[in-house]
Structures are given as C-alpha cells and as structure tokens.
Amino acid sequence: MKEVLSMDNVSYSYQTEDESAKKAVDGVSFTVQDDEWIAIVGHNGSGKSTLAKLMIGLLFPEEGDVNVFIEKLTEENIWEIRSQMGFVFQNPDNQFVGSTVQDDVAFALENNGVPFEEMVTRVHDALAQVNMSDFLDHEPHHLSGGQKQRVAIAGALALHPKLLIMDEATSMLDPQGRNEVIHLVEELKRKTGLTVISITHDLEEALLADRIIVMNKGKVLTIGTPEQIFARGNELEEIGLDLPFALRVSGLLRENGMELVGEHMTEEELVNELWTSHFSK
C-alpha cells in the first residue's frame, strides 16, 4: 500500500491572551495508507481539529513534518497538493459560494482552470455519485442539512481527489442526515478506493473506519482497529467519549447477568446475538 499522508512528530501551539503558548498538538506521529478510512476521535480540546488544519495547510507545524502524497507540505507546494484533496467541513452553510447547486460544485473546478465541457461533465458525474442530480438548479439554502453535505461532498469529488478529509462533517446534522452522509462516504470508498480521514467526536461514525486514532490533550493516546479501540471502553469514557450504543447496552446486559459471546460493535450485531442465543430457542 502507498502512503497518502503522514505526520512525523508534529507539534503546534496557540498564543493565549496572556501571551503564553498553549500546545494544541504535541509530538503527533501517524501514517495513512492508500484506500484506508482513518477516524481521528477525541473530546473538545483534544487537538483533532488542529490536526485537520495542519493536514490541509491552514496551519504549519512548529516542529515536525506533515507529508502528503510523500511530499513535505510547505507554503510553496500547498496549492498543488490541495488540488488532489477534498474537504468537507462542519457547517454546510459556510461552504456554499454558488447561487445554485451546480454553480457551487463547479466553483473549485473554475478556480483550477478546468475546461468548460469537462467541468460540466464532472459536475453532473459528481452530483450523480451523491444522488443529487435532481437538484442541479436548486438554491443551496433550500436544502436540508444532509443534502447540503451531499453537495459539499460532490464539490470535493468533482476535483477527482486522492484523499477526502471530513472535519466534524456530520456534527450539525440530525440523525437521518448524519446516516445519509456517513453511508454515502462508505459507499464511495467501497466503489472508488477513496482514502478518507474523518475527524469526529462521534464513535458511532468511527465504527466504519479501518483504524481509529484517539487524541487526548494534544497527544495520540492510542491507534488501532475499532475492535482494539473499543476493547478499552473504560479509558475512552474517562477522556469524555461516549461509547457506541450497542457497546453500552452490551455492558449493561452483562452487568445484569446475561451471557454474550464476543463484543458487539453495532446494533445489528447485538440484535443478532440476542435473537440467536436467547430468543430463538
């Protein structure tokens, strides 16, 4: 597998009002491989959103290196590297610049000098990928939250990115909108091999990742598969993270004397276990 992004002992500090430095990211190292879905999780103040800014060159590290596509990210190459990346941010309303859906998806393509005929094709293809073709001429502010994030994802896909970074992209959506966006990204990754980095505090969302990076107080607490991470449920709760619903229910059932086989990461897994072992006999 090819390396897509890496951080090598990266640190970054913000200046506080009393002019002292507060370290938001402290000696962080990790590598993201091609075709991976990486979830970066942590409570507010853990440093995960600062990591997102460092990944896309909105900030540059005081110490260490950020490498994207095996190239050190610098002020000189940032625009070239960004042209191969797609971003989806927290507030969908802050991402719209076009008066219609198709204008908005075309905006970054125009900035990159994509010829008009190719631009039209890319816009239509990207909107089809996110099931928003029927909304070409709609005004963005008339869309639901989930639809707005679909359009934001289409804008990223139109650039034909190698890497999609989502920074709390579902945190302002209702449960239906959140599920729509997450399962859309899951399907796109499966079909296209897109590399995804999802920055989130939602551990239900992190279940879909290949690996999870847990941040706490600016440092990497641990890295592992969802199964490895959620086996340390008590530690996650100690740093302010809520375990996925199925794991919480499994824990309560065990506390009350019910025997369960293995860990149940999703509600579907838990229901199947309960039905097979306890209700179908």
Give the phi and the psi of residue 74 in degrees, each rounded to 5: -135, 170
Q: By mean pLDDT, which of 164-173, 200-209, 245-254 is the weakest?
A: 245-254
- For residue 223, which of 233, 215, 213 has the smallest C-alpha distance? 213
Sheet holding 37-41, edge to edge: 85-88, 163-167, 195-200, 37-41, 211-216, 219-224
**Tokens read off for 175:** 């449960």
Q: Residue 278 above 70 pLDDT?
A: no
More confident residue, 82 or 261: 82
Q: Is residue 71 classed as helix, strand or coil in its secondary structure?
A: strand
pLDDT for 62 equals 94
Are the C-beta atoms of 163 and 82 separated by less than 8 Å? no
User: Averaged over 60-71, what is the pLDDT?
Assistant: 95
What is the CATH number that goes with domain 1-84+162-231? 3.40.50.300
CA distances from 279 to 199, 261, 272, 273, 274 (A): 39, 15, 10, 9, 7
Helix (H) / strand (E) containing 236 = helix 233-238
Q: Where do the structural domains in the chain lie, given as residue ranges?
A: 1-84+162-231, 96-160, 244-281
Q: By mean pLDDT, which of 28-42, 44-58, 149-163, 172-186 is the weakest?
A: 172-186
What are 271-278's contacts with CB under 8 Å, separation 24+?
A: none
Q: Is residue 88 classed as helix, strand or coil in its secondary structure?
A: strand
Summary mean pLDDT of the chain: 86
Are the C-beta atoms of 274 and 233 separated by less than 8 Å? no
pLDDT for 279 equals 60
What residue ranges in 46-194 does DSSP mark as E strands?
A: 63-68, 71-72, 85-88, 163-167
Q: Tens of pLDDT along 185-243?
A: 888 888 888 999 999 888 888 988 999 999 999 999 999 999 899 888 888 888 888 88
pLDDT for 216 equals 94
User: Could you identify the residue written with the tokens 């293809």?
Assistant: 125
Catalytic residues: 168
